[in-house]
Structure 1
């Protein structure tokens, strides 16, 4: 397991460290352009390539598809959204009363900012099911249950990141007076990654020239490296402990509370056990998604909070992963 995690995290450590190092040599506009470039071009290319790979056949080994996995994925997304929203609502309720100065200092100073709220929810809801989840799943889950993990990842990325995620980011990007339901629908329908994934899935049977096909598949590693680089650049802009401590709450929701509830629910209500149950727990508890930072760049949310949550949740996973294997692996 240690070796698997090392291979999964090696690119993260390498490219994030490079971003930390080169930050001071870059113009101020570079991170914003990089983030928007990933949103409009990089991630669509990645999803187009992944959709054409036929991951279900590669990981699932032709096994029957567990249709319960997408349902559990949607449930996990809703649970994360509800918990994060309730915490934000509770904090704002406390601030609306006259708290003593000591207690007021314990709450985030920028809590009332919509950019903070949007990044808080994105950090708690969206997980890195692709790079981290599918990287560690083969070493921890029986091969017969890998199709559970793959279906979770596909559902989470398509419906979660570029469905739920775009709605959340768009909602917090606009003032309350400007928010209309059709604005969020418009933003979701205009998301480039969704159209790219759909196009790639529908053209799987179309044979492309080998040069184009290899270029598409090679773009995946480039996009991942750029996402890590962006994370490192944003981490270099953090203001020490003040920025990191705000990320503990969404990171804890992401890698501990949500997967714990998923594990309990799949046991009590769906009767899952063994590798299928562990697959659902692992995928629901992966670290905060790098896509959250890309959405923050596009919709002008709090980049510091999401970048901090990525790091904190990644470190927390190393501590919590053995616990999930012990409790839900049998």
Structure 2
């Protein structure tokens, strides 16, 4: 209870500070700050907290619990609608029904769920909150939620709307595959290059309690040559397969490479 109260005091205080600064600073500052946090700050924070979390085999229960909660919320909202129709002889308008079902199904498990999880149970269980949101709430929101909105919405034929949603989903899946493929390609290329560098630099020899390898320079040069070549080759294949008209795989690969560079280079330089 104390942790939760402290969390909401901090959140309320930060919101108040943001409100005051938003009225004093130029209009472009909140937008740029929000974009920076969305594209840089939040991903780095997630990776940092994940490194300190426990990724046990039971963590896959989190998405299952998310789906169960979503379906249970939708079922209870449906019961409420049917109960109103039975007892009060009135039926809410379709948009109202959709709003009630969506509000019962979904919650802000990301931007509010993450800090609440950190405050309540600590960094060790942060991965549970991430898997709940990423593999549970996210598909529920942009999958089942969109279908419900299309079903209850008016003014446009449902079939046309569902076809549009299908096309949007196909595009989204293509870009998601491109992003995952780009990240995996850069990390895999670094690991493969690291393995080849380990073979080249030879056996270690201790000198004054410092481990010295016979061919450390050659290993470093080999890594610097092979890792970019392999990464570019895989990224080019991914771009031609999933996003011919976009350089998204290249940008994702560059960002991933910059973030992973210390992880690969420090062991080779040490």
**Are 1:8 and 1:132, in contact at CA under 8 Å, matched by a contact in 2?**
no
The equivalent of 1:90 in structure 2 is: 83
Out of 111, 120, 134, the position equivalent to 2:114 is 134
**Are 1:60 and 1:146, in contact at CA under 8 Å, matched by a contact in 2?**
no
Tell me the SS of whatever aligns to 2:54.
coil
Deviation, 1:198, is 5.1
The equivalent of 1:187 in structure 2 is: 165
Deviations 1:101-136 (A, max 9, x none): xxxxxxxxxx53111111111111110011111011
Q: Say whether 1:75 aligns with 2:68.
A: yes
Aligned residue-pair number: 176
Out of 158, 162, 174, the position equivalent to 2:138 is 158
- Distance change in 2, residues 1:45/1:77 (3 Å): farther
Tell me the SS of whatever aligns to 2:111.
helix
**Bigger RCO (CA 8 Å, 6+ sep):** 1
Q: TM-score, normalised by structure 1?
A: 0.42
**Are 1:47 and 1:197, in contact at CA under 8 Å, matched by a contact in 2?**
no
Deviation, 1:168, is 1.6
Deviation, 1:81, is 0.8
Q: Say whether 1:5 aligns with 2:52.
A: no
Deviations 1:59-104 (A, max 9, x none): 353632511111111111111111111111221233437xxxxxxx
Deviation, 1:9, is 4.1
In 1, the alpha carbon distance for the partners of 2:6 and 2:78 equals 37
1:96-135 alignment runs, 5 A limit: 96=89, 111-135=91-115
The equivalent of 1:168 in structure 2 is: 148
Q: Say whether 1:203 aligns with 2:182.
A: yes
- Please say which structure displays the higher CA radius of gyration: 2
Q: TM-score, normalised by structure 2?
A: 0.50
The equivalent of 2:52 in structure 1 is: 61
1:1-330 alignment runs, 5 A limit: 1=3, 2-10=5-13, 53=44, 55=46, 58-59=49-50, 61=52, 63-65=54-56, 66-96=59-89, 111-174=91-154, 178-180=157-159, 183-184=161-162, 186-187=164-165, 189-190=167-168, 199-204=178-183, 205=186, 206-208=253-255
**Are 1:52 and 1:203, in contact at CA under 8 Å, matched by a contact in 2?**
no
**Are 1:118 and 1:168, in contact at CA under 8 Å, matched by a contact in 2?**
yes
In 1, the alpha carbon distance for the partners of 2:104 and 2:122 equals 28
Tell me the SS of whatever aligns to 1:127.
coil
In 2, the alpha carbon distance for the partners of 1:6 and 1:75 equals 31
**Are 2:49 and 2:126, in contact at CA under 8 Å, matched by a contact in 1?**
no
Deviation, 1:184, is 3.6
Deviation, 1:178, is 4.3
